[in-house]
Amino acid sequence: MFWDTGYALPKGLVYRPVARYESTETTYLESHIVEKMVPFLAACEARMSMSLVKPKIGKWLVTTPSSIQKAASKGDLWARAMIRYQSMPQDALPF
């Protein structure tokens, strides 16, 4: 999961942070970790910005509500369940 923080999480997902750091803050990390982390994160962000050549069902990344819609339209059961759960009224939920 690589959720875009510009969107609220879907009703079925909960994020409970244990600690939160500014995205640019690296002073709490050892320098050898930062040296490896920076190029790794840059590669991840570059990969995320590229469109996939042949997207395959079962190998998709949850990033936005539209990514869930797209996966559901291709038959992904988890995405279909998330959409169904989103449409359920809160009082109809069993918990």
Whose CA is closest to 86, among 72, 53, 75? 72
Q: Over the stretch 42-69, which tens digit does the pLDDT of each residue have?
A: 888 788 777 765 555 457 788 889 989 9
Q: What is the three-class DSSP state of 59?
A: strand
Per-residue pLDDT, 95: 57
Q: Concatenate the DSSP letters of all residues of 74-86 into one string.
A: TT-HHHHHHHHHH
**Residue 59 φ/ψ, nearest 5 degrees:** -130, 75
Report how far residue 43's alpha carbon sits from residue 38's, in angstroms, rounded to the nearest whole number: 9
* Mean pLDDT, the chain, whole residue set: 78
pLDDT bucket at 73, cuts 50 / 70 / 90:
very high
